[in-house]
């Protein structure tokens, strides 16, 4: 019998355990998803012996309760009043029960009897409340004030509230913080039991949508109005949220002078800010763009050229820089400002004449820096000395030369001029003639995955990045600074890390040049 009884109970126990495990699992899920409720409340402070006020506070258990807020009430407002923040104010001598009730779903509360003494005579109740404030036009917070009458009112403490918390919020001390444009009614209610209240309607404007990328660009803008090339050389870092370390670095380097027009910086950022201003009307973005334009005006040399960096003149950064279209990008911006196009119509009109002057000076230096080879005007180097205007060396592999790449953007900028001089017309014709003469036929470059090689390509037309200023022949150069006749002769790192061939002039010397000639009757 004992053996049979064991057999009978084992399955029952197992089933009961499975049931308990199922229940336990359910309760764990419920516990994870539920708020942590208050279990007990303690009230601290209270007794008033001078007929004045006392700030009450609470302690709640458990310490990790989700919502620790409480609602304050008193048993008899003829003895004392209590504000939303727990400020207990005497009305007359006596005893009053103060109650703090949890705002969460627990309904837990605590009570404390408080003795009030020191009140001299019957309380003087508030008769009127006037709120002092003005319309908000800049979207910034405003501190409101109140005038409570009579002057000898026993309790001048008021509670503030707003009619629409989606428009603004208000603190216990009357700081009105805008959230959206609109109007909001602010009410100040006496806490002495008189129910006296005052109101004011505040109109709020000047709140604009934000653009996170534009905000990041403003964060990294240097104090002089320009931008550095690092840490966001390719701009990608602007398009994500900045870390606290990045924010601190940007703020701590505001005064740095590493500002540049290299790799489309400064021009690229300010153009984005102009676009953001167009979509948001946020004046911060326009102001940032204007500071950048002022920087570009300041950076221009008297002869019309722009250096790669300003004011940093170390190394080759002081040279007039056409490399990677640096100066051309600035010139195109100046042209756009004069025409009010490409989001520049929001710029102050006083800048139009300044931009036209800067553009014209740039044109003059472009005409003066056009290289002459064997007695004929040709093209431009990627960089020119700002004093002699001669082709100059930049990095060790960027020697004085004619550029088959940068010269294209320069010619397009010359073509913008609506009433070109005879000198400018001839400069364009000479440059296009040079492009025709130095084009390379029947080869192409091929990226093998580990190298870049030159291969046969019948019918293909390309140009070299650099041409010798004496022979008009292409050359290639590694970090040793020595000219080579073929791409294969330079080191792998430079072969694969630079654009040595391209079809940059193809459209320029075709349809663009034809349209330009027709426009000017040539």
Distance separating alpha carbons of residues 383 and 325, to the nearest angstrom: 10
pTM of the shown model = 0.71
Return the C-alpha torsion angle 229, 230, 234, 237, nearest 10: -130
Which pLDDT band holds residue 334 (cuts at 50, 70, 90)?
very high
Same domain, 350 and 489: yes
Distance separating alpha carbons of residues 485 and 500, to the nearest angstrom: 12
- CATH code of the domain in which 327 resides: 1.50.10.20
Does residue 11 form part of some domain? no
Same domain, 492 and 368: yes
Distance separating alpha carbons of residues 65 and 396, to the nearest angstrom: 66
Which range of residues forms the domain containing residue 297? Answer: 274-519
CB atoms within 10 A of CB 255: 8
Same domain, 141 and 287: no
State percent of the chain over pLDDT 70: 94
Distance separating alpha carbons of residues 202 and 204, to the nearest angstrom: 6
| pLDDT per position as a tens digit, 484-511 | 999 999 999 999 999 999 999 999 999 9
Distance separating alpha carbons of residues 471 and 35, to the nearest angstrom: 81
Same domain, 393 and 289: yes
Q: What value does the mean pLDDT take over residues 181-192? A: 96
Task: Evaluate if residue 296 carries a pLDDT over 90.
Answer: yes
DSSP readout, 338-367? HHT-TTGGGS-THHHHHHHHHHHHHHHHHH
Same domain, 144 and 86: no
What lies within 8 Å, CB to CB, of 271 at 6+ separation is: 289, 333, 342, 343
Does residue 360 form part of some domain? yes
Same domain, 170 and 55: no
Same domain, 290 and 355: yes
Same domain, 46 and 172: no
Q: What value does the mean pLDDT take over residues 372-386? A: 97
In this prediction, residue 91 carries a pLDDT of 87
Same domain, 89 and 132: no
Distance separating alpha carbons of residues 81 and 87, to the nearest angstrom: 8
In this prediction, residue 33 carries a pLDDT of 57
Task: Evaluate if residue 24 carries a pLDDT over 80.
Answer: no
The last residue of a domain, from among 174, 204, 234 = 204
Count of domains forming the chain = 3
């Amino acid at each position: 019998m004992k053996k049979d009884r064991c057999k009978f109970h084992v399955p029952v126990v197992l089933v009961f355990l499975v049931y308990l495990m199922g229940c336990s699992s359910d309760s764990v899920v419920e516990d994870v998803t539920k708020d942590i409720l208050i279990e007990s409340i303690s009230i601290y402070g209270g007794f008033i012996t001078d007929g004045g006020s006392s700030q009450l506070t609470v302690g709640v258990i458990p310490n990790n309760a989700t919502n620790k807020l409480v609602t304050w009430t008193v048993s008899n407002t003829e003895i004392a009043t209590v504000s939303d923040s727990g400020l207990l104010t005497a009305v007359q001598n006596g005893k009053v029960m103060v109650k703090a009730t949890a705002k969460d779903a627990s309904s837990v509360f605590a009570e404390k009897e408080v003795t009030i003494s020191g009140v001299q005579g019957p309380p003087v109740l508030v008769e009127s409340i006037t709120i002092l404030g003005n319309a908000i036009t800049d979207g910034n917070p405003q501190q409101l004030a109140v005038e409570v009458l009579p002057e000898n009112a026993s309790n001048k403490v008021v509670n503030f509230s707003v009619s629409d918390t989606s428009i603004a919020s208000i603190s216990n001390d009357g700081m009105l913080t805008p959230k959206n444009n609109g109007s909001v009614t602010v009410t100040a209610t006496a806490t002495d039991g008189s129910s006296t209240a005052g109101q004011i309607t505040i109109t709020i404007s000047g709140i604009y949508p934000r653009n996170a990328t534009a905000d990041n660009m403003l964060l990294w803008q240097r104090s002089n109005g320009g931008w550095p090339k690092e840490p966001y050389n390719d701009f990608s870092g602007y398009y994500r949220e900045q870390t606290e370390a990045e924010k601190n670095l940007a703020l701590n380097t505001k005064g740095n002078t590493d500002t540049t027009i290299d790799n489309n910086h400064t021009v690229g950022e300010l153009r984005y800010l102009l676009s953001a201003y167009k979509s948001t009307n946020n004046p911060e973005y326009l102001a940032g763009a204007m500071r950048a334009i002022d920087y570009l005006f300041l950076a221009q040399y008297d002869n019309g050229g722009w250096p790669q960096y300003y004011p940093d003149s170390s190394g080759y950064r002081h040279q007039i820089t056409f490399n990677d279209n640096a100066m051309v990008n600035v010139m195109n911006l100046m042209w756009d400002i004069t025409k009010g196009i490409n989001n520049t119509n929001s710029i102050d009109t006083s800048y139009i004449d300044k931009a036209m002057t800067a553009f014209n000076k740039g044109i003059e230096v472009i005409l003066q820096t056009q290289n002459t080879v064997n007695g004929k005007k040709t093209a431009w180097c990627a960089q020119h000395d700002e004093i002699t205007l001669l082709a100059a060396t930049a990095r060790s592999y960027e020697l004085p030369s004619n550029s088959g790449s940068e010269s294209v953007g320069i010619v397009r900028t010359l073509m913008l001029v609506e009433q070109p001089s005879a000198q400018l017309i001839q400069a364009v014709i000479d440059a296009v003639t040079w492009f025709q003469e130095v084009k390379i036929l029947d080869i192409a470059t091929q990226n093998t995955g580990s190298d870049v090689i030159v291969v046969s390509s019948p019918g293909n037309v390309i140009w070299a990045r650099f041409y010798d200023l004496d022979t008009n022949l292409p050359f290639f150069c590694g970090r040793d600074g020595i000219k080579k006749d073929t791409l294969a002769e330079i080191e792998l790192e430079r072969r694969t890390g630079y654009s040595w061939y391209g079809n940059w002039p193809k459209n320029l010397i075709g349809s663009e040049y034809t349209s330009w000639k027709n426009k000017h009757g040539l």
